[in-house]
Every structure is written in structure tokens, then in C-alpha cells.
Structure 1
Amino acid sequence: MGGLRRVVTFADQGVSSVSNFVAVAIAANVASAHQFGQFSLAYAGLLLFLGAQRALVGETLLVRYSRTGQLTREVAAASLGATALVAVPTVLLLLVGAAAAGEENAALWLVMAGVAPVVLLQDSIRYLFICEGVPGRALAIDGAWAIISIAAMLLAAQAGAGLAEVLLWWGAGAAVALILGLLLARCVPAVPAGVRWLWLNRSFAFRYAGEFAALNASSFAVLYLLVFPLGAAGVGALRAAQLLFSPLNTVFGALKTAVIPELVRTRGTPAFRARLLEALAVVLVLGVGWGGAVLLLPAGAGEFVLGETWRNAEDLRWPYAVQYLAMVPYTILLAYFRATEANQLSTLMRGVLAALTLVLPLALALSGSTQASAWGFAVAVAIAGVCGAVAVKRGRRSSARDVTLERVD
């Protein structure tokens, strides 16, 4: 049963990622270059808060409430209320963007502001279903959103609709999925209870949100700072090379979502180690397979995907292949820390990654080499993973020493 749940959760993550990619592609086809730039800014803001909501509410749900019987209807309603609270600053940010964008582009920002609470709540319900051990319901609502929104967006685009109207249909699909999710969950957001829920889970929720904020801040900051030694073309090459490996980001995200609840449910049993090793094997095979495919990618295929940027990104494939290979043990360790509630160790490992991501690529880029900067990202992940592994080993030695002392006493 657990294996089927994990497969369905992976399928749900795939549907969500592919549908989002298609939706952005449709938006790109109906927008001018300037409009798409404005949309990209608004969408980036929405994704930033979506990631924060997943760290603050989603991961806390998986860690604290995945054990059978822990997730009551009251807890579910309170967690949705917490998500509604996260939606408030999201909407405010997008409204500020609408005011700053000018009359010509304000409409698409306003649409994104209206859609944001729906998207955040729909995503939170996905986590509720996965936490409950019924990921099929998450797949159902994501599938409904994908089918309805993409079909409606395509019809609107063919009819000559503008970007704002096309985005409205994207939001309409999300609204249908949200309503379906609320009906299946049999609860509605309880905002006052959400405040209390966040307070009761503050040692987890705010720590996870802090880890997310630190990693994102360092990643954004280093890209902007790299413009000075490498130029815009160099940063573009780094982003293009990363794009070649982006499907693995979906794998890593799905792995955490699928495996953490199963690890929580089997904690303290022999099945825990089996689940962890199984996850390691699966993600290692996928990582090596995709990395090898990218390294063997013919120039013609690379130019088809990246256009002229391929020439600058081609030599960066090796450092990024190593980086994503290092992400395998890093992700498994993070899942282990979450499942065992070893929050200090996860913060240590992710804090090391945030610091090194900011320092190493920039320091190595001072030579003017984009490839050296890419190796900086790879080394940062590898060192963070080693720190996590060392922390686990020391923790086990300490536990074994305590057990020995108890026996002596």
C-alpha cells in the first residue's frame, strides 16, 4: 500500500509540474516580450510565496501529522487557515506590483493577485491529502486543474484573448480544483484557528520557513552579484545549464513529498531503513540516468532547447551534473532529518548550503570563468551533504554512548 501511495504522489507531482510548464508556455505565446517580462515578475513573486507556504504549512503537516489519526478535520481546517494568512502578503505584494507596473500592465498583476489565494489554498489541500495517505485525491484535483485550465487557456488564446484573460482561465481552473478539494476534504479554512495552529507548531513551521528563506535569499543574491564578474551572458549561461537538469528538481521535490510521510509512519520500525534505502536507490538511478542523458545531448538538440545560449551553456554540463548528483544524498538526508524531527541538523545542513552558495560561486567567478562559478555551486552542495552525513554519524555515536552508560549504571 505504501509503495502505491509513493507512486501516486510522484504522479501528482509530475502532473503539477507539467501543467504549470504548459500554462507558462501558453502565456508566453499570447504575450509580447514586454508583457511576458511583467508576467514573469508576477509569477516569480507568486512562486516565492508558494514555496514559503509549502515550507511553513506543507512540510509541517507532513512531519507532524502523517501518523494515522493525527490529522483531524479541525487540524486540517486550521492548516488551511494558516495558508490563508500566507496569502495576505502574497496579494499585497502583487497589488504593489500592479501599482508599479503602470496602466498598460496592471491588469495581469491584478489577475495574479486575485488568483494567488486560490493557488495557495489548492496547493495546501494537496499536502493535506498526501498527509492523510490518500494522494489519489491530490492527483484528482491537480488533474482537474490541468485539464480545465489548459483547455480553457488554449481556447481563449485561439480566440485572440489577451494575456490577462488567458490568465483568468488559469485561475478559473484552480478555483474548480479548490472547490473539489474542499468537498473531498470536508472542511473550509479556519483563519483564527490558523493563527493558533502556527503558534502551536512554531518550532517546526518557522524553522522550515527560515531555512527556505535563507536558501532562496542566497540563491537570488548570488545570481545578481555574479553579473559583475561574469556579465549578463555568463549568468544566462548558468541558468540555461541549470534548465537542462530542471526535471530532477521535480524528482527531488516529489521525493520529499512522497517519502517523508511514509518515513514518519514507519519511524522506529525496520521498514524505516528499507524506505530510506529504497528512496536513495530510486533517486540515484534517476539522477545518474538524466545526468548521463544531458552529458550525451547532441549539439543540435541542445540548440533546439536553448537556442544560441547553448554555446555558452554547453561546457557547464559537467559541473551541473556533479551538483545534481550531490543533491541525491543531500535530499535523502533532508528527508531523514524531517522524518526524525532532527530540526537542528536540517537547519545546520541547509545553513551551510545557503552560506556556501553565496560565497563559493562568487569567489570562483572572480577569475572571470563561468565554468569555475558553476563548480562553486557543485562544491557547495557536496560540502553541505558531507556536513549532514557527519552530523548523523556523530548523533549515532552519541546515542550509542548514552546507551552504553545507561547499561553500566
Structure 2
Amino acid sequence: MTVSGGPPGVPGSAPGPRRSTAVVASVLDQAASSLTNIAVLVIAARVSTAHGFAAFSMVYLTFTVLLGLNTAYAGQAVVLTRGDTATTGAACRSAVAFTSLAATAGGALLAVAGAATAAIGGGWTGTGGAFLALGLVLPLVLVQDALRYAFSTLRRPGLALATDTLRLLCVVPALLLQPQHTAPGTLVAVWGLSAVPALLLGLRLLWPHVRGAQADLRPYVRRGHLGQRFAVEFAVGNASSQLAVLGLGLFAAPLAVGALRGASTLFGPLNVLFNSVNAFGPPLLNRFGARRAIARASALLGLVLSAVGLGWGLVLYALPDDMGRRLLGETWQSAASLLPATGAQYAVMGLGTCALVTLRVLSPRATLSVQVVFSLLSVVLMLGGYVLTGSALGAAWGLAAGSALKAVAAWTRVARLARVPAVEERSAAADAPAVSAG
């Protein structure tokens, strides 16, 4: 969920000082979005029972998957739009219109499924009521998030920062006002409705840039739409593990989902770092020129991120129980036991993130196979760890093992790519010295 704000070197991008301001606004917007997600989960854990937070986590995980799919299909595609004001305005209006229609259709399905689940068993205060609430508020939250990609396309990340900051300022007090042991459906409804002010502000800020533009939804349903590839990459790279966790909660152990989500929420600040590396790593690494230099710089950054992950894990592991309960409420006890495994996972994720960014610089086509194979392997290891141990701890160590194997595979490919072209560069230098200059 990163807003790019216009990459350096793209024709028509802002000049130096303004470009720097756009980068700062993009990073701050990303931080505001990440902080919102962290705050929502932490507050929900504090005001819920362990079972209530497990239900809320399953619903929020469903939203995360749907958000990622929409971001991949519509958001990542629209930010690649280049052209005059009329072209970008039409693209933004089309993306927002598509998101609203898709979210309304998806929300209707979720609402029906939630109502049926609540009627069959569990009542309206359980998981069924929470899914019903998600279905009702899904258009609000998805369209509000889609606006940030429209602002990125328009090279106005400051507008995205304004709306996402308002979103944060509205959702935190709204959830904090809820009484202890609030039903998960109520929490979902409050969380969703608190997006209305930010949504209205975003639409108002977007209107001058899309006034007079015509929305065209046909490209989104045509075969070959660029978002289809992005959606596949998201599905195999991120959604597969999230859906596996959701399946674990629906069919086996709901409390395990709450424990896994609680532990990963505490590592939320590291996601800001990882997302920043994904957003700004490629252009910075390209400045090193030679492939070996790129690989060395990325490896050093990966070691730093890994050390930060380990350090943050040690800080969390040393938290007194009373402070942990203030953060996650009744969920702290189950989440605390997963901190070593989750800390190990985030440590190797720092290495893996830098490896995948390096692959995108050296050979963009090389990332898909790594993502497909090792993301699916992570799912297998997570489920296998749960089956072998019968606990969320086994699932957490399975996820850590999967992340470690993905990092090893990605760095192995980086080493191969950095080594082979070096021979070609030396041969080219011997035949034509001018080619290798600079």
C-alpha cells in the first residue's frame, strides 16, 4: 500500500525540490496508513475478549486480502498512467468508479454470507455478524483507500496524506470509545463508518482534477488488463498465506488467528520500513551502476533490516506482562508465546525483502517464480507446523521457516545474476573500452 508520488526520471515529474517534498509526503502517508492498521488491531484487541478478537481478526484479514486485490488490480495499474491532465483525470475517475462497483458487489456477497452464518448458528454477536458488518462498510473503506492511488497518479501525495491522516484521527477515538467486550460486528461497523469523513474529504479533493473526465470501465474487464498480472502476483505472494491463516481460523482454530494477528501487529512498525524499501529501493540501488555493487549495497541493507527486526523482537519479548496486556488485552497471553517465532520471521523478511528488490533491479522477471514457489511453500509449512504441534506456535515457526527459505532462494538468484553479467562486462570492456566507461 505504497503511494509512489511519481518516480524520479519520469517525464513530466516534478522538479528537484518539489520531488523531494512528494517523496516525504509519500513516506508520511505510508506511515499514517500503517499506523492506522496497527492502531485498529491494538485497540480491537484491548476492548475484545480473546474469542472476539479472533473473530475480528478473521474479518479484518478478509478485508486485507480484498484490499490487496483491489490495490493490485486497480491501484497499481492506474499509477502507471502517463499523459496530460485529461488522460490522468479520466484514469483516476475510472479507477475510483471501478473500485466502488466492485466493492459494492463484493460487500453484498459478504453481507449475505454473514447473515446466513449468523442465522444458522453463532448469532449476530459472533463471526457471522462481523462479516455482515464488513459487507455493509466495504465500499466505504475500499474507495477511501483507492483515492490514495488516484492522488499518486496525479502526483499529489500531499492530498493522500491529508485524507489518510484524517482517517487515523477518526478511527482511533471511535474505537477507543467502545466499551469492554464489544461484539466484533460492532467494532467492524464502527471502524468502517469512521472512514466516512476521510472518504468525503478525498472525493472533494479529487473532484477538481477529474471534473469533466469520463469514466471508462471497459479496460478493467478486458483480457490482458495490466492489473490482472499484478493481482496474480499478489495472490501468490501475499494473499495465499493470508487466506491460509483465514482457513485455519474458519475450519480449525479461531483463537490461533487472533494469536498470529496479535503477534504480527506488534511488528507493524517494521512493515513501514519494508514498504519504504520496496518503494524507494530500486531507484537508489540503480545509482550504484555495476551489478556486484548493487548486490553488495542491498545485502548490507538487508543485514541492517534483519538486525532491526531481531532488536525489535527482543524489545517485545522483554515487555512486562502488564504492559503487554495494556497493548493487546486478553490476546497478549497467546500472542506473547509467538514473539520468538514472529521475531525470527521478520528478521529473515528483512533479508528477503532486499533480495526481491535487488531482483527487480537486476532481472524483473525473476521475482515471480520465487514468489509463487516459496509463498506456497510458506503456506504448506505454516499448516504443517500447526498439524504437527496442534498450536499457533507451530504455525508461526512454519511461517518463519518459509520466509527464511524464500530469502535464501532470492539471494541465491541474486548472486547468480550478479556474477554472470560481470564476466560479460569484462569481455565487453576488452573489446570496446568505451562501452564500460561510467
TM range (shorter): 0.7 to 0.9
Give the stretch that moved more between structures: 10-19 or 148-157: 148-157
Query: CA separation of 1:277/1:225 partners in 2, compared to 1, >3 Å: closer, same or farther?
Result: closer
Partner of residue 45 from structure 1, selected from 45, 53, 62:
62
CA apart distance, 1:50? 0.8
Q: Is the 8 A contact 1:57 1:79 kept in 2?
A: yes
Give the stretch that moved more between structures: 16-25 or 29-38: 29-38
Q: Is the 8 A contact 2:62 2:246 kept in 1?
A: no
Are positions 1:177 and 2:201 aligned together?
A: yes
Q: Is the 8 A contact 1:211 1:347 kept in 2?
A: yes
Count of residue pairs brought into register by the alignment: 398
Work out the CA distance in 2 between the residues paired with 1:223 and 1:102.
Answer: 18
Work out the CA distance in 2 between the residues paired with 1:309 and 1:172.
Answer: 29
CA apart distance, 1:145? 3.1
Work out the CA distance in 1 between the residues paired with 2:175 and 2:239.
Answer: 31
What secondary structure is seen at the aligned counterpart in 2 of 1:57?
helix
Partner of residue 34 from structure 2, selected from 17, 41, 48:
17
- Amino acid of the structure 1 residue aligned with 2:194: W
What secondary structure is seen at the aligned counterpart in 1 of 2:389?
coil
Aligned equivalent of 1:220 = 243
Work out the CA distance in 1 between the residues paired with 2:132 and 2:78.
Answer: 31
Query: CA separation of 1:303/1:115 partners in 2, compared to 1, >3 Å: closer, same or farther?
Result: closer
**Structure 1 residues without counterparts, runs of 5 or longer:** none
Query: CA separation of 1:368/1:232 partners in 2, compared to 1, >3 Å: closer, same or farther?
Result: farther
Please list, as runs of the form range in 1=range in 2, the aligned pairs for 1:75-114 lying within 5 A after superposition.
Answer: 75-84=91-100, 86-102=102-118, 105=124, 112-114=134-136
CA apart distance, 1:199? 4.8
CA apart distance, 1:112? 4.1
- Amino acid of the structure 2 residue aligned with 1:100: A
- Amino acid of the structure 2 residue aligned with 1:18: L
Q: Is the 8 A contact 1:361 1:375 kept in 2?
A: yes
Work out the CA distance in 1 between the residues paired with 2:88 and 2:347.
Answer: 39
Aligned equivalent of 1:349 = 370
CA apart distance, 1:179? 1.3
CA apart distance, 1:140? 0.9
Query: CA separation of 1:5/1:328 partners in 2, compared to 1, >3 Å: closer, same or farther?
Result: farther
Work out the CA distance in 2 between the residues paired with 1:299 and 1:28.
Answer: 15
- Amino acid of the structure 2 residue aligned with 1:345: A
Q: Is the 8 A contact 1:259 1:279 kept in 2?
A: no
Please list, as runs of the form range in 1=range in 2, the aligned pairs for 1:269-308 lying within 5 A after superposition.
Answer: 269-270=287-288, 283=305, 286-307=308-329
Work out the CA distance in 2 between the residues paired with 1:309 and 1:95.
Answer: 27
Work out the CA distance in 2 between the residues paired with 1:304 and 1:329.
Answer: 31
- Amino acid of the structure 2 residue aligned with 1:54: T
Work out the CA distance in 2 between the residues paired with 1:133 and 1:281.
Answer: 33
Aligned equivalent of 1:361 = 382
Work out the CA distance in 2 between the residues paired with 1:82 and 1:275.
Answer: 40
CA apart distance, 1:351? 1.6
Q: Is the 8 A contact 1:327 1:381 kept in 2?
A: yes
CA apart distance, 1:330? 1.8
Aligned equivalent of 1:192 = 217
Work out the CA distance in 2 between the residues paired with 1:401 and 1:320.
Answer: 40
What secondary structure is seen at the aligned counterpart in 2 of 1:176?
helix
Query: CA separation of 1:275/1:107 partners in 2, compared to 1, >3 Å: closer, same or farther?
Result: same
Aligned equivalent of 2:12 = none
Aligned equivalent of 2:89 = 73
- Amino acid of the structure 1 residue aligned with 2:243: F
Query: CA separation of 1:173/1:219 partners in 2, compared to 1, >3 Å: closer, same or farther?
Result: same
Please list, as runs of the form range in 1=range in 2, the aligned pairs for 1:145-294 lying within 5 A after superposition.
Answer: 145-148=167-170, 163=186, 166=190, 169-183=193-207, 185-186=209-210, 190-195=215-220, 199=223, 201-202=225-226, 205-214=227-236, 215-221=238-244, 224=247, 237-256=259-278, 258-259=279-280, 263=282, 269-270=287-288, 283=305, 286-294=308-316
- Amino acid of the structure 2 residue aligned with 1:301: M
Q: Is the 8 A contact 1:218 1:354 kept in 2?
A: yes
Q: Is the 8 A contact 2:45 2:328 kept in 1?
A: no
Work out the CA distance in 1 between the residues paired with 2:35 and 2:289.
Answer: 32
CA apart distance, 1:45? 3.3
Larger proportion of helix = 1
- Amino acid of the structure 2 residue aligned with 1:49: L
Query: CA separation of 1:107/1:226 partners in 2, compared to 1, >3 Å: closer, same or farther?
Result: closer
- Amino acid of the structure 2 residue aligned with 1:192: L
Work out the CA distance in 1 between the residues paired with 2:417 and 2:95.
Answer: 32
What secondary structure is seen at the aligned counterpart in 2 of 1:11?
helix
Query: CA separation of 1:390/1:152 partners in 2, compared to 1, >3 Å: closer, same or farther?
Result: closer
- Amino acid of the structure 1 residue aligned with 2:89: R
Aligned equivalent of 1:395 = 417
Q: Is the 8 A contact 2:262 2:328 kept in 1?
A: yes
What secondary structure is seen at the aligned counterpart in 1 of 2:33?
helix
Aligned equivalent of 1:127 = 149
Work out the CA distance in 1 between the residues paired with 2:51 and 2:263.
Answer: 24
Work out the CA distance in 2 between the residues paired with 1:26 and 1:58.
Answer: 28
TM-score, length of structure 2 as denominator length = 0.70
